[in-house]
């Protein structure tokens, strides 16, 4: 499994557990020091808005670049938080390696990348892998069970706050880590 230390991977035990909120807090804290690239990967295909900037589309996946902060989609929120570039990907897990190869063509390994995706953990070892769960629920998506134990940090979200301060996350020497 390939090590990608410039990638911070965020996954969750379910929907609406605070993954994007945590990512946005990280982006907001680090945007003055680093040009962050964010990628939101979704296994569900939705109809795209007419203004979507489609970079690549085929029967297996669609990759768009986020261009506006006017909507409230997760990718809009990441751009609004201060990411230098945000991409929204719709794909099934079996095509994640193709999607990763697409980004490898123009994202340098020295660039800090935040990716919201669980399935990607099966393909690579990120610099940091954060798993977010709802503190008030023990439900876990079945496919999440496969990589839950691989998380560098399991973070609980109670609907308002996290039990881990995003300010403890750092990007230094081209890799993600946690400050002591």
Mean pLDDT confidence for 91-96: 93
Q: What is the CATH number of the domain that holds 69?
A: 3.40.50
Mean pLDDT confidence for 124-131 = 97
Coil/strand/helix, residue 64: strand
Q: Could you tell me the residue range of the domain that residue 101 belongs to?
A: 2-178
Provide the terminal-to-terminal Cα distance of the chain, rounded to the nearest Å: 27
Rounded Cα–Cα distance for residues 118 and 96 (Å): 11
pLDDT at 80: 95
The average pLDDT across 51-74 equals: 89
- List residues bridging with 3 in a β-sheet: 125
Confidence at 43, pLDDT banded by 50, 70, 90: confident
Q: Residue 130 in contact with residue 150, Cβ under 8 Å?
A: no
Give this prediction's pTM. 0.94
Q: How many residues does the chain have?
A: 180
Q: What is the mean pLDDT of the chain?
A: 92
| Percent of all residues in the chain with a pLDDT value above 70, rounded to a whole number | 99
Mean pLDDT of the 97-121 span? 95
Q: What is the arithmetic mean of pLDDT over 82-93?
A: 95
Domain count for the chain, please give it: 1
pLDDT at 8: 98
The mean per-residue pLDDT over the stretch 107-121 comes to 94
């Amino acid at each position: 499994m390939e090590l990608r230390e410039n990638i911070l991977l965020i996954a969750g035990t379910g929907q609406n557990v605070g993954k994007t909120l945590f990512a946005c807090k990280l982006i907001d804290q680090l945007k003055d020091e680093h040009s962050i690239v964010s990628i939101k990967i979704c296994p569900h295909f939705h109809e795209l808005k007419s203004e979507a900037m489609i970079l690549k589309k085929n029967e297996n996946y669609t990759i768009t670049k986020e261009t506006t902060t006017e909507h409230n989609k997760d990718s809009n929120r990441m751009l609004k938080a201060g990411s230098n570039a945000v991409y929204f990907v719709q794909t099934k897990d079996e095509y994640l390696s193709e999607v990763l190869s697409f980004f490898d063509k123009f994202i340098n390994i020295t660039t800090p990348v935040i990716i919201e995706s669980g399935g990607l953990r099966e393909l690579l070892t990120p610099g940091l892998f954060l798993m977010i769960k709802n503190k008030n629920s023990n439900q876990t998506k079945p496919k999440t069970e496969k990589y839950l134990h691989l998380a560098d940090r399991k973070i609980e979200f109670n609907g308002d706050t996290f039990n881990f301060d995003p300010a403890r996350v750092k990007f230094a020497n081209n890799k993600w880590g946690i400050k002591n």
